[in-house]
């Protein structure tokens, strides 16, 4: 079954062609990062306009690279939530037009379920049930993946997402947007115990998380140093910060896996590219005798293939939308 899938929830426009969910024929991704870099963050209107400009050409290129004719497509899948509303609308409207013009089913896909499905592409042997930590620019969720389409959020951030916290730290240190990978790169030459940063704990909700205290601590530390004219050890600050985020995520995930009786743990989303988090998960899983699944960097960030993969399983489960499909800024899993 051939699916064209579309992702436009934030600052990447992506169109992929996948076969039977897990085989990626092509994944055409246009990153808008350069357009937003000058503003230090995503500007929603610029994002929407850029999606409008590139989405048709990307879909033509996807078909030609995959060697697939339009008439061979069996369905079109689209990320319809959550995300920047103007950005999501572009992908949804385009997907509706494709479905309408070709007379093929339209399959709506939850963006976070797509991130989780990136693991199915990377690991052909992986099947639910398992526990997944989904960490991206806008979400930090502990998800019980009971089946391909049946998932339950067991824990989530009460305020900022882990990715937001990385981006804010990068910004206050004057690093380019999107900052996570720059903080990650700097941290490799620093000491992770030089700066003492807080780890949060939500009273009565052991699997919920909070990153705003950590974010504020970093911002205050940098501003205080500036005011006093003190030189900061930026590499050690990044290393100490990365450690604080990782220690808020990894032990919690392992504890929940134990509680739910899972020996399979997956990680998904842009922040899953972080080297410290990857290393800490590897060590923890080995100690626990658990199987760990973290996609390669190319499948951690937003892409079209993950939407095609999840779209396939949604299709099998009977999920369909008609031409009245709308876009949503927020949506339960």
- Stretch of 24-32, 56-64, 162-170, 229-237 lying at the interface with ligand KG4 (CB under 6 A): 162-170
**Nearer Cβ to ligand KG4 (63/211):** 211
CA–CA dist 136, 180 (Å, integer): 10
Of 43-51, 197-205, 264-272, 325-333, the segment contacting ligand KG4 by CB under 6 A is 264-272
Segment lying near ligand KG4 (by CB under 6 A), choices 17-25, 31-39, 132-140, 279-287: 132-140
Query: DSSP of 128-195, one letter per residue?
Result: SSEEEEEE-SS-EEEEEE-SSS-EEEEEEBSSS-HHHHHHHHHHHTTPPSS-HHHHHHHHTTS-TTSS
State which residue, 21 or 180, has the beta carbon closest to ligand KG4: 180
**Distance of alpha carbon 24 from the chain centroid:** 18
Q: Residue 58 has which token pair?
A: 């990307």
The answer to whether 24 and 34 are in contact (CB under 8 A) is no
Q: In the numeric block, which tokens belong to residue 227?
A: 């005011």
The window from 98-106, 200-208, 230-238, 263-271 that contacts ligand KG4 (CB under 6 A) reads 263-271
Alpha helices (H) along the chain: 33-37, 44-66, 85-102, 111-122, 162-172, 180-187, 212-228, 234-260, 275-288, 297-300, 305-316
What minimum distance in Å lies between the beta carbon of 275 and ligand KG4?
A: 6
DSSP-assigned beta bridge partners for residue 132: 143, 266
Given the complex with ligand KG4, which of 91 and 270 has the nearer CB atom? Answer: 270
Q: Which of residues 278-317 bind ligand KG4 (CB under 6 A)?
A: 301-302
Q: Are 74 and 99 in contact (CB under 8 A)?
A: no
Of 180-188, 197-205, 288-296, 310-318, the segment contacting ligand KG4 by CB under 6 A is 180-188
- Which of 173, 271, 284, 333 contacts ligand KG4 by CB under 6 A? 271
Taking CB under 6 A as the criterion, the residue among 5, 59, 136, 319 binding ligand KG4 is: 136
Counting contacts by CB under 6 A, is residue 181 touching ligand KG4? yes
Residues near ligand KG4, by CB under 6 A: 10, 136-138, 163, 166-167, 178-181, 184, 269-271, 273-274, 301-302
């Amino acid at each position: 079954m051939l699916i064209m899938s579309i992702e436009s929830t934030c600052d990447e426009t992506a169109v992929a062609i996948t076969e039977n969910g897990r085989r990626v024929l092509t994944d055409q991704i246009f990153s808008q990062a350069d357009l937003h870099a000058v503003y230090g963050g995503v500007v929603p209107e610029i994002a929407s306009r850029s999606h409008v400009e590139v989405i048709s050409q990307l879909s033509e290129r996807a078909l030609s690279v995959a060697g697939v004719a339009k008439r061979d497509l069996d369905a079109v899948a689209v990320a319809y939530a959550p995300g920047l509303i103007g950005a999501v609308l572009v992908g949804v409207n385009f997907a509706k037009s494709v479905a309408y013009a070709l007379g093929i089913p339209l399959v709506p896909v939850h963006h976070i379920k797509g991130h989780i499905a990136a693991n199915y592409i990377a690991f052909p042997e992986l099947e639910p049930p398992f526990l997944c930590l989904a960490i991206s620019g806008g979400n930090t969720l502990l998800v019980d993946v009971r089946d391909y389409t049946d998932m339950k959020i067991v824990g989530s951030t009460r305020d900022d997402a882990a990715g937001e916290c990385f981006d804010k730290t990068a910004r206050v240190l004057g690093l380019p947007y999107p900052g996570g990978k720059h903080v990650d790169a700097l941290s490799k030459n620093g000491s992770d115990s030089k700066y003492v940063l807080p780890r949060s704990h939500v009273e009565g909700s052991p699997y919920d998380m909070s990153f705003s205290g950590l974010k504020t601590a970093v911002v205050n530390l940098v501003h205080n140093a500036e005011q006093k004219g003190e030189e900061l050890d930026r590499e050690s600050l990044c290393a100490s910060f990365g450690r604080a985020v990782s220690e808020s995520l990894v032990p919690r995930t392992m504890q929940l896996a134990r509680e739910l009786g899972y020996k399979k743990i997956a990680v998904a989303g842009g922040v899953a590219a972080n080297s410290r988090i990857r290393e800490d998960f590897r060590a923890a899983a080995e100690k626990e005798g658990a199987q760990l699944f973290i996609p390669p960097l190319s499948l951690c960030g937003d892409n079209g293939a993950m939407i095609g993969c999840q779209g396939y399983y949604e299709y099998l489960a009977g999920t369909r939308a008609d031409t009245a499909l709308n876009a949503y800024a927020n949506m339960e899993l």
